[in-house]
Each structure stands twice: as structure tokens, then as C-alpha cells.
Chain A
Amino acid sequence: MYDYTLNPYSFTNHEISLFMKIIVHYCFSFFLLFTCIVSANAQTPTDATLMTKGQICIAAIYSHDSWDEYWEGALLRTNGNIGTLTRQSITPMAILGITNRISIIAALPWMKTDASGGYIKGTSGIQDLGFWIKGKALDLVAGPGNFTTHLTLGAMQPLSNYSSDYGPYSLGLGCSELSFTGILQYKLDMGLYLRGQAGYHLRGNSSIERDYYYTTHSIYSDEVDMPDAITWGVNLGIWLFDYSLKIDGDFSGLNTQGGYDIRRQDSGFPSVAMYNSSVGGEIQYYVPGIDGFSVIANTRHVLTGRNVGKSTIYSAGIAYFFPLWKSGQTEPIIND
């Protein structure tokens, strides 16, 4: 078993292929923390891997998120005028290794919302462009494995003029976001790993199409001050069959910093407090015979929440990685 995090520059083609596999699947976790009533998109690159220099991975992911219960404040309820709310998305994404220590990631979901009950039209369109830079800060050999830390800087920006003031039918929160995520991982050489990550999301204002709204008091503005958010998660996973199959399980969550509860029978609003915790599972399989090509499947279930939907999410996707340019001499890894 190669220690791929220690010596990426010395990899053979096959070894690089193994290395790349690690990366792709984690990209999914970007989309899977979106379980809020107004779809708080807590896209968090939370993996502990990087592309090697010049390598690119291209992926497309379909996601199906639905709920028929949501938390109105702390009260879990149904709403006959919504029935089951379904949010589907297709997300193209790309990950590029700038150096062996730094990768950049971009993703742009197209979304569609629909409700089985009531008479409100669903909507569809391009949501928020996400862009992340990830760097490795620390890489230490520790016992039978490796301890690594990564830092991710992310930015998101709504690309279409979807209305964030559209209750659960809204495509997103309509605000720009800057996030900073720290990732710690310990991975045994035999493929088992434990990872923890926490992110802070600074949020800009969300613009709405009216200049008065009531939160806990009157506000005379068409700008909505958004509470910042923290995301967190713990993953336990393993690579099997010479890095052909990965199985991963996690416990994750989102907590806004501030905000307020949806009042009885009121509709959702971008600036409400949103909490959730969820469990997720994922498998990724590298199809034999097509180098760099993998299929991914993922599911997530929200367990607890506040002012968010009790979502169940299923995702499936494909990913393919290949060298974009000739890698050449890469910088040596320094254990810091």
C-alpha cells in the first residue's frame, strides 16, 4: 500500500490514479448539507486530499432532496399546502491541482424545486457558483498511518437572480458567502480513515424584491442581514480492493450564528436560524477498465433541526480524472 499523501510526486501512473480516486468522491459532500427550508447551501469541501499538479477531475452529480416534514421553530410539522417538497439538482464540477499542495475546485448547480401539495409554482435555474482553494497545512507520519490537516477557503456567489424570498421553493439563500474550513484526518496505511472538519461561513446580505419585511421587528430595506453559519462533520471510511471501492459514513451539521425562529404558520425567510444534524453514507467505485472513471452514490438523512426541512437526500454521479498538462517536476513535500 502506497502512502499517497507522503510522496505524490513519486507516483507511477497507476499510483496517481489511486491518489486521484480519493479526491473525487468527497466532492459530493458539497451538496449534501442542504436540507434547510430555503435550502441553505452549506457547500463544504471537506475532504483531506489534493490533486497532483496538472491533474483535473470533472464530475457531474444528480441530487434528489425531499421532505414532507419541517421544523417551524422547534416544532416538527407537516404542511398540506406544501405536501412533499422536492429539490433536484444537477451539478457540474471541476477540481484542478495547481500544485501538489494546492487544488482549486469549482461547482455550479442547476436546481429545480417542486411541491406536491398546494398551488405555488416551483422554480428552477442556476444557483450559486462555488469556488474553493484548498491547501495542505500539515502532513505527519504517525504510527501506522498519517495525520494530515488541510485548510479550505471558499466563496459562493448567486449567479442567477432567483428569489431568495420564496419560502421553501427558493433555489437558495441568495447571498454571497465566504467560508473557511479546517480539516483533520488520520488515515491508516491499510485504508481506514477518520476525519473531522469544521467550517465558518461568513455571509453577505440577501437581496429581496420588497423593501419592508418583519423578522422579530420591522425592517425597512430590501437587503436581508444573513446570520453566519458553522458547518461541522465527522467521517469514518475505508478504501477497499486496492482503492477501487470506498465506503464512508458521516455525522454532520449546520448551525447559523444568530437568526430567529419561524413563527407559527409563517413562511420561511432567508435570515431565520437554521440548525440541523444528519447522517450520511457514500460509496464510490472505480469502474475497472476505464482509468480514472468512477461512479458515486450517496444518501443523507436529517435527524434533528430547527427551521429546516427533515430532508432525505439521494445523489448519484460520475467522475473522471485525467492529466490536463504534463506534470513535470513537482515541488517536494515538506512535513511541517
Chain B
Amino acid sequence: MKNTAILFFLFSIIATGFIFQSCVDEQPSYIAFDAYEYASLDANGGSWHPKLLSSGSQIGIPAPYDITSAEYQAELAALKAASAQLTGEQEEAVKYWGGDGLIRWNEIARELAAKYNLAPSPDSAGNYPAPNSADPGKYPLFPFAHPPYSCRAFAYWAATEYDALISTWYHKYNFNRPAPYTTDATIVTHLPKNNLPSYPADGAVIAAVSKAALTALFPLEKDFLAAKALEHENSLMWAGLNVQSDITAGDSLGRAVWNVVKVRAGSDGLKNAQTPRPKSDSIRDDAQARLGWHWENKETPPRPVGITPLFGKVKLWNVPDVITVRPDTPPAPGSPAFEVAANELKDISDNLTTDQRRIANFWSDGLGTYTPPGHWNRFASDLIVEHKLNPLRAARVLAYLNMAMADAGISCWDAKYFYHYPRPIQAIPGFKTILGTPNFPSYTSGHSTFSYAGATVLSHFFPDETGKLTAYAQEASESRIYAGIHYRFDVEAGKQQGISVGNFSVDVARADGGE
């Protein structure tokens, strides 16, 4: 009996510790940070050159009520009531959105990329159905947010935010309506104050652009995005930052900017990127005739078409054309240079270290994740918070980063299908990997191209971080060799391609007035 009692006693102690641990260890679904005072306000930001609008003044908004007007006084009173006392939920929303909310929307875009990054399953007859944008809810769901889809999605979201915020800054300083808390010091605020003019509300512009752009890109998320945008806009009043007319004007400005940008999105060539099989076969046969080799999908059953064979024809953002950044022909399979690369892969695979496995997994960014461009958006978000950038300056970073990574994707895909190079599992007999081999040709490495383009652009904006960012890009690139899905020459060509692509975006940034 005594022994049994001791057993129970020990058990209850250990169990209590365990339960305690599992309660406190709820894993975070977003990256928490404290709202900050902006490092600069960029009062001349309205004069910077947008990417797709002609200027910050292209889209007009109605002049605001004068702050002495009865209408404005009524709005002030409503704001004062809204922010005086918050419910727990409102407090949480204010803290989550942190005012402008740009970083949160970037995080939401990443989450949607991850959620939709699943390849179609074969049906019982062994055929692969394809997502259909006209019927997005029918399996396989639209979109399949693979790296090409996602890099383009991030670019449209970020470029639209940037243009919309240049317009916002233009109108803010044009109308110069002081912040409500400047006009009435008794308004309770729950976030850091700043000296930005408040009309239109930058947070509302950001919410409206995000809702419109992301709904177009992820149509099944319409309701989710509408609820998020509504909460974000409401949080601006709960926080005591903006009156209703600031928010209304911001919302309509954001929507108007997306309406300009969406014309480009509808005609940039993505629609044709996922080709029917005959076209895909002819691209393969052309490569075989030209080069003497071609890539094959090695899945069971084989997928008849690789991911977006014509993504290389999608409209570029800042690179003049893909030929400019297309690398030289890779070594032919079976050539001495190929054998060196193949032997390196076999050697690594046979002697994989713990560290190499960790690196391969850390940077895998494969199916069900936010893809390599998502990973670089995460780094950018961290740096933006660390450097306390205002939303205009933050959007500038995200816009050039994501335009460069979309250009990297387009250029890389051009090389992939132009060279149609076999993957290691196809070209090395008996070779196996520790990550799934993606459904597109090998040369050049997407991870390397995306990562070096990303590191190049972010290093321009955050020169002190160059060492760290370059190390990230290098590790991300090497990770594909450790995983067994790329040859070293894929990675090296991708690196050069990524740097060249990134520099085109840096050149545009240098000339946009925001340096």
C-alpha cells in the first residue's frame, strides 16, 4: 500500500508540471510587437514616384470638413466616446493592429499563401484536376499558391500599398488635417501619437488595399478578409487615432488605387502561365531538340504539366526583360562538370550532418508554407519593426522587395523552362532526397534566385544588415543542395540571377524620391 501511495504521489507531481507546461506553451499565431513611434514622418512622401499611378495626386479624394465645423465636432465626440473605455476584445484588436497594420496585413498575406500552397491530389483514375479561378471553391481550391503565384501576389499587394500610401501622404499634407488628439487633447489614445496629418487615415488605406487585393488573389477568403479589414478600421477609432471621415476617405482611396492596379494584374500574362499539356509538351520537345535533354516530373502518377511553364512570360516589374538576366547554359547531364555536381550531392546525401539537415528543413519553405518569398517578407517585417519605419517607408521596402522577388520568380522560371534541366532524382540513378522534389525543372534554383534578390533589396534599405541578409541568402541557397533537390550550379546561377534582378529594383528605388 505504501508503495502504491508513493507511486500516486510521484505521478501527481509530474503530471501537474506537465499540465502547467502545456497550458503556458500556446504557440503564437502571429509575431507580437509593441506599437512604436515612427522614426521619421517623411512629410514629402506625397511627391515620391509611385510604381503604377502617375503621381500621388492622380486619385483625388473629397476635401475634409474643417476642424471647426459642426460635422467634425460631432465626429470628435464620437471618437472620444469610442476610445474612452475599451472592451477586452477592442483592446486586443488595438494591440494586434497597432495602428497602421501594414505588418499585420503582410502576415495575413503570408498565411494565405501557406494555406493555399497545396498541390492538387490525383483523382481515382490517376488524373490531376486543376484549380479553376472561375469556380474557386471546387476542389482543387483556387489558387494553388505555389512560389510563382505567391511571389506575384505579394508584389501586387505591396506595390498597391506603396502607391496608395504615396497618395495618402500627398493628401495628408495637402489637406493637413491635424490628428484628432492634437485638436482635442482630452481624447484617450491607446497607441503612440505622431504628428502626421490624419486625413485620410493611413490604416484605413492599408486595410482597404489589403482587403481588395487579397480578395482578388484569394477569392475564397472574401469574408475572412472583410472581417479583418472591418476590425482593423474599427480599431483606429478604438485606439483614438482617427475620426470616421479619416477612415472613410482612406478606405475609398485604397479601393480606388487597387482599381487602377488590378488592370495590370488582369493582363500580366499569369492567366496563360499554367499551360495545357500540348503546349507544355512542345516546350519540353523544344528543349530536347535544342539542348539534348529535358526535365520530367517523377511523381506517381506523373503530373502531366509542371508548375506554370509560361510564368517566365509574365510581365516584369523592374527588370527590362528576362533575357538580360538569363544565365548561361548549365553543364550537360553526364559531362564532367555535371558529374562533379552529382557526386557532391551523393556524398552529402550519404553523410548528411545534423546541421545540414536542420538547414534543409529550416529553409524548406515548401508545400503548405508561405514559400521563400514569404520567408523574406517575414525578415523584412522584422527589420521594419526594428527600425520603426512609418507605413509609407515600410511599404516602400515591401514594394521593392516583392517586385524584385516577383521579377526573380519570372526570371528564374524563364530559365527553368528554357533550359528544362533534369532534377537530381531524374539524372542520378537511385538518388533519394530528404525533401520532396518540386514539380518544375532544376536550373536555376528558385530559393537562390528569390533569396539573393531579396537580400540585395533589403541590404539596400538596411545597409547595416547586409552581412546577416547575405548569410541568410547563402544558407537558403545551400539548403537545397543539402536537401538533394538542386545541384550546386543551379544554386550559383540562381545567386547571380537573383543579385542582377535585385539590382534592377534597387536602381528604381534610388530614383523614386524616397532615398
Q: How far, in whole Å, are A98 and B2 apart by their CA atoms in the complex?
A: 13
Q: Assess the B433–A81 pair: CB atoms within 8 A.
A: no
Q: Assess the B434–A121 pair: CB atoms within 8 A.
A: yes
In the complex, residue of chain A having the shortest beta-carbon distance to the beta carbon of B17: A178
Q: Assess the A208–B107 pair: CB atoms within 8 A.
A: no
Q: How far, in whole Å, are A83 and B358 apart by their CA atoms in the complex?
A: 26
Q: How far, in whole Å, are A39 and B14 apart by their CA atoms in the complex?
A: 25
Stretch from A20-28, A58-66, A261-269, A276-284 contacting the other chain: A261-269
Q: Does B90 contact A (CB under 8 A)?
A: no
Q: Does B298 contact A (CB under 8 A)?
A: yes
Q: Does A288 contact B (CB under 8 A)?
A: no
Q: Does B139 contact A (CB under 8 A)?
A: yes
Q: Assess the B4–A204 pair: CB atoms within 8 A.
A: no
What's the tally of chain B residues with a CB closer than 8 Å to chain A?
Answer: 58
Q: How far, in whole Å, are A119 and B439 apart by their CA atoms in the complex?
A: 13
Q: A133 to chain B: which residues have CB within 8 Å?
A: 7, 10
CB distance from A115 to the nearest CB of B (A): 9
Q: A136 to chain B: which residues have CB within 8 Å?
A: 4
The 8 Å CB contact of A213, one of B15, B369, B435, B436, is B369
What's the tally of chain A residues with a CB closer than 8 Å to chain B?
Answer: 53
Q: Does A3 contact B (CB under 8 A)?
A: no
Q: Does A325 contact B (CB under 8 A)?
A: no
B residues 124-176 touching A (CB-CB < 8 Å): 139-140
Q: How far, in whole Å, are A137 and B432 apart by their CA atoms in the complex?
A: 52
The 8 Å CB contact of B26, one of A119, A202, A225, is A225
Q: How far, in whole Å, are A117 and B21 apart by their CA atoms in the complex?
A: 40
Q: How far, in whole Å, are A155 and B13 apart by their CA atoms in the complex?
A: 13
Q: Assess the A220–B118 pair: CB atoms within 8 A.
A: no
CB distance from A91 to the nearest CB of B (A): 24
Q: Is the interface of A mostly helix, strand, loop or mixed?
A: loop
The 8 Å CB contact of A209, one of B139, B299, B357, is B357
Q: Does A323 contact B (CB under 8 A)?
A: no
A residues 128-170 touching B (CB-CB < 8 Å): 133, 135-137, 151, 153, 155, 161, 163, 165-166
Q: B39 to chain A: which residues have CB within 8 Å?
A: none
The 8 Å CB contact of B4, one of A151, A161, A165, is A151
A residues 96-121 touching B (CB-CB < 8 Å): 98-99, 101-102, 117-121
CB distance from A166 to the nearest CB of B (A): 8
20 other A-B residue contacts (CB within 8 Å) besides A212-B114, A218-B29, A224-B27: A80-B301, A98-B3, A118-B300, A120-B432, A120-B434, A133-B7, A161-B354, A163-B361, A166-B434, A202-B15, A202-B18, A203-B22, A204-B21, A204-B22, A209-B358, A211-B362, A212-B370, A218-B107, A220-B30, A263-B368
3 closest Cβ pairs, A-B complex? A80-B300, A209-B361, A265-B121
State the B residues within 8 Å of A (CB): 1, 3-4, 7-8, 10-11, 14-15, 18-19, 21-22, 25-31, 107, 110-111, 114-115, 118-122, 139-140, 298-301, 349, 354, 357-358, 361-362, 364, 367-370, 375, 378, 425, 431-437, 484
